[in-house]
Structure 1
Amino acid sequence: MEELKVLDYSNVFIASYFTDNWECSHANAEHTLIYLVSGELEITDNGKKTILRPGGCAFMRRDHRMLLQKRVKEGVPYHSVVLKFNRKFLREYYSSLAKNSIPLDARRSKKSLTVLPANRPDIRSLFESILPYFESGSKPSDAVLQLKMTEGLYVLLNTDANLYASLFDFTDPWKIDLIEFMNENYMHELSMEEMASYTGRSLASFKRDFKKVSELPPLKWIINRRLEAAYDLICRGTANITDVCYQVGFKNLSHFSKVFKEKYGMAPTAVTVC
């Protein structure tokens, strides 16, 4: 496989250009807007496959892991452009909004992937204005970066008003539900600081809010949730013990067996198939 070009400007604009197929597991630390110039992109999110073709555009919500398969089609290289929205920019933009312009009935979608209408003029105009920077290899100024990020926000907010709640989920009305977040991410290795940041809270606020919804501290909650998931998988008989251990997030088989026995009074191998 030949990787021709991956250009990253301030982790805001990112262009990928490949002459052969490429597959990667991708975790979005920031909200991301991706536009396909050529080739084909298959996105697998929670087992569901979505295909993007040239002119296609999709919004990927932050803090979710997806499998991306980038393909050359009919000899034409894969070429995509990504626009990322970091928290600093989103906070500054939100603070500049007239509060009466914010839809109070906006609700954060549970979907981590939103496909935008293909070949929409405002989307095409935005990304076609970005492409020359990559083609010439010249880095855009900070002012241009800010301008294009703002245009990208307009694209999203004009697509669905509920995206206000996803993009600005660091604010109290749209603060991410803790248990929902934990249930979606218990199998990943996250520090307390990361869990706080991903749910739109300071570390102190995260600990305080978590006490309201659980008698267990966050890290003990995660271990307990992993064990419950492991028991269910073993009971169903769909995977062996080692696979289950790593699938639910444990990194050490002996530690998994120890804490499993402490919780259920038996070794994982003693669980009977339901």
Structure 2
Amino acid sequence: MLTRSEAPARPQILYSCYTNYSREGEQFVPEHVFSYQLAGTLLLDEGSQTHALVPGTFRFLRRNHLVKFQKQLPADGSEFRSLSVSFSQDMLRALAQEYGYPAAARQPPGTAVLALPDHPLYQSYLASLRPYEQLALPDHAALLALKAREAVLVLLQVNPELRDVLFDFSEPGKIDLEAFMQKNFRFNVAISRFAYLTGRSLATFKRDFERLFRTSPSRWLVQRRLQEAYYLLKEKSKTPSEVYLEVGFEDLSHFSFAFKKAYGVAPSKLLGAS
């Protein structure tokens, strides 16, 4: 998976495998993804809901969403493994034209993660990918592109209601700014990304934001993240090292400095100061 919103383009078919540690982070999901959990557990937090994906789980991730992830190794210490097939907009447009699917109207905002029930067609497709596990190389791009197209057709056969999601090629529409920011302030992404996801240019986003919150986006984000950190430290007895990434700070030292400046006490001393 992409680990940051500015990460390079991912292969269309990607096997994730980790053997000696669990991983966590956050990502912007730029394209739709069809995925299967092979081993270990994947936790996906989209701000208002957390999804626990266990081995044998199929899922569909909708594009243009922010998600925090945690990849947990199996209890026996063996490797974490998952398989993801991503669908570029160019590929979906070409497939829609070839098969006569009309472009869909803009879909309303919805959950980032859709659980897919097991189905024989999914299992057959998964089995067909096993010979290609080691083919995520440039020389095999054409072959993998065909398998990605096949995944779209399988999804449409099993879940025809996904047609309007897959063939919605519109950019995000203008949405409720306050509700979006209250849901997503924990994500450490650029202000320009927040602007895009709320259907605004950067200039319009800043103007609307300051009219609504009476402060700049960057200042509000720091204040809101510190409020959440205070709650987690004080009421949930979490440690600073557990909290700083969860609320959207990049490093512990910056978090500690900002927290002490705001509350007059280091986060590590908060409980002792009560």
Q: TM-score range by the shorter chain?
A: 0.5 to 0.7
- 1:65 shift after superposition: 0.9
- Of the three residues 232, 256, 260, the one matched with 1:257 is 260
Q: Which residue of 2 is the match for residue 189 of structure 1? A: 188
The structural deviation recorded for 1:226 is: 1.8
Distance 1:137 1:200 in 2: 34
Which residue number in structure 1 is paired with residue 5 of structure 2? none
Q: How does 1:51-62 map to 2 (within 5 A)?
A: 51-54=53-56, 56-61=57-62, 62=65
Aligned equivalent of 1:81: 83
Which amino acid is the alignment partner of residue 130 of structure 1? L
Q: 59, 66, 71: which one pairs with 1:68? A: 71
Q: Which runs of 5+ in 2 are unaligned?
A: 1-8
Change (3 A) 1:211 1:186: same
Q: How does 1:204-219 map to 2 (within 5 A)?
A: 204-207=203-206, 210=209, 213-219=212-218
Asked if the contact 2:172/2:197 (under 8 Å) is kept, the reply is no
Cα 1:64–1:147 shift into 2, 3 Å: same
> Residues of 2 paired with 1:147 and 1:191: CA distance?
34
TM-score computed with the length of structure 1 as normaliser: 0.64
Q: What is the aligned counterpart of 1:98 among 93, 98, 102? A: 102
Paired residue for 2:110?
Answer: 109
How far apart in 2 are the matches of 1:180 and 1:216? 16
Separation in 2, partners of 1:233, 1:214: 23
Contact preservation (8 Å) 1:42, 1:52: yes
Q: Aligned runs of 1:109-188 on 2, under 5 Å?
A: 109-110=110-111, 112-121=112-121, 123-135=122-134, 139=138, 141-156=140-155, 159=159, 161=161, 164=164, 168=168, 171-173=171-173, 177-188=176-187
Other structure's SS at 2:71 match: strand
Q: Which has the higher contact order (CA 8 A, sep 6+)?
A: 2
Distance 1:125 1:211, change over 3 A: farther
SS in structure 2 at match of 1:67: strand
Correspondence for 2:4: none
Q: How many residues align?
A: 249
Change (3 A) 1:255 1:214: closer
Shift of the alpha carbon at 1:253?
Answer: 1.9
- Which consecutive residues of structure 1, in runs of 5 or more, have no partner in the other structure? 1-8, 262-267
Show the counterpart of 1:3.
none
Q: Distance in 2 between matches of 1:92 and 1:260?
A: 55
Instruction: Say if 2:35 is the partner of 1:34.
Output: yes
Of stretches 196-205 and 179-188 in structure 1, the one that deviates more from structure 2 is 196-205
How far the C-alpha of 1:163 sits from its partner, in A, is 7.9
Using the alignment, how far apart are the partners of 1:146 and 1:219 within structure 2? 40
1:33 alignment partner AA: F
Q: Report the Cα offset of residue 177 of structure 1.
A: 4.7
Q: What per-residue deviation string (whole Å, max 9, x for no partner) do you get for residues 64-100 of structure 1? A: 012122438898x76532112346656777899524x
C-alpha contact (below 8 Å) 2:12/2:145 kept by paired residues? no
**Cα distance 1:171–1:191, how it changes in 2: closer, same or farther (>3 A)?**
closer
When the two structures are superposed, what TM-score results if normalisation uses the length of structure 2?
Answer: 0.64
SS at match of 1:71: coil
Determine if contact 1:133/1:140 at 8 Å carries over to the other structure.
no
